[in-house]
Amino acid sequence: MAKHIVVIPGDGIGEEITESAVRVLQKIDEVCHIGLTFEKKPAGGTAYDLCGSPLPEDTIEAAKKADAILFGAVGGDKW
């Protein structure tokens, strides 16, 4: 019953939110033995700074293959 989750923190507070959510999910996984795996991918202004695109093709492809997507937030002072 293993599940792969793509984590897209986005910008600003999205990073903090997704980090906390992943920690909660890891604790749940420790108790329930689901077999959760996590893969972090960029989107939003952060992705634009890193890759020149707000939604890189790599992020899209990873999301399509995932069992679930954990999305933080996009936008912020700079964007």
Tens-digit pLDDT profile for residues 15-64: 999 999 999 999 999 999 999 999 999 999 989 999 999 999 999 999 99
Task: Look up the pTM and report it.
Answer: 0.92
User: How far from 25 is each of 9, 22, 48, 58, CA to CA, in Å?
Assistant: 15, 5, 28, 24
Question: What pLDDT is attached to residue 19?
Answer: 97
Q: Show the beta-strand stretches assigned E in the chain.
A: 3-10, 36-40, 68-73
